[in-house]
Structure 1
Amino acid sequence: MSANSLFLVSLVVDSYDRAKAFYCDSLGFDCLEDTAMPDGKRWLVVRPRGGEGASILLAQASDEAQRAAIGNQTGGRVGFFLRTDDFARDHRRFTEAGVLFQEEPRHEPYGTVVVFQDLYGNLWDLIEPAKA
């Protein structure tokens, strides 16, 4: 029997280098691959450090329709969820790196959470799941 899993999500960005710097330097993601393609594009894949879940393909916009989607790929809703095993550590690290938070951290039945935005305004949840 075969198993399927979501392993890659595309995120439209304005610049490969700007996006790579934000995700790798500010959020601490690992760059798994950064390969030049023949058409001038790059295969640029990042993933949360030590993570085993889906990775993100940072895709530089190539036309006006794609540029219009930058920062609003989920219509203003939280579209990305970053799980942490130490909320206080990562919240502090993100704050020190200048990441913009939309609210103060809060405690929900499912865990400790705060909404932040990426370089482009896409909304993310930083979540430490509640202990079972």
Structure 2
Amino acid sequence: MNQVLSLVTLVVADYDEAIAFFTRSLNFELCEDTPLGSGKRWVVVRPPGGAGAGLLLAQANSPAQAARIGDQTGGRVFLFLQTDNFERDHARMTAAGVRFVEAPRHEAYGIVAVFKDLCGNRWDLIQPNSTAKSTAGSTDRYDSD
């Protein structure tokens, strides 16, 4: 049996604002934007290259969902954006206005820096070492500030 994690839902405040952030600031590709009626849309973005899971951008449609925007994991790093060139992508993202909450650091598993998306969710930008088996480091670094 072959399975793959294809999409992860990210609750956002506004579809168009989220599309702009992911396509302009993170250089993601807009793969689909289909109206579903009643203001809902099926919006999928993916990192360039098409490998790995995409994000299904879901506009909050209730107070409970709106309360989770930017804090889907209680302040922990939520998503991991792996790159083959940390310096290039860190510089491009910084120039595009992405807010990094720490300076890049070298860990046993690679180069990493935490940034926040437009909603405040924490991400790792990471370039794993060629010998690294996993991009996961110690869990204590994922706690909120």
Structures share fold, TM-score greater than 0.5? yes
What is residue 59 of structure 2 aligned with on the other side? Answer: 60
Give CA-to-partner distance per residue, 1:82-132, whole Å, 9 cap, x none. Answer: 000000000000010010001000000100000000001100000000022
Distance 1:26 1:97 in 2: 5
TM superposition score normalised by structure 2: 0.89
1:17 Cα deviation (Å)? 0.2
SS in 2 for 1:68: helix
CA distance in 2: counterparts of 1:129 and 1:106, whole angstroms: 12
Find the counterpart in structure 2 of residue 19 from structure 1: 18
| Unaligned stretches of 5+ residues in structure 1 | none
Equivalenced residue count is 131
Scaled by the length of structure 1, the TM-score of the pair is 0.97
Q: CA deviation at 1:51?
A: 3.1
AA partner of residue 128 (structure 1)? Q
CA distance in structure 2 between the aligned counterparts of 1:25 and 1:97, rounded to whole angstroms: 7
User: Unaligned regions of 5+ residues in structure 2, if any?
Assistant: 132-145
- Which one is further off, 31-40 or 69-78? 31-40
Between the aligned partners of 2:46 and 2:73, the Cα distance in structure 1 is 20
> SS in structure 2 opposite 1:37?
strand
Q: Which residue of 2 aligns with 1:109?
A: 108
Identity level (%): 60
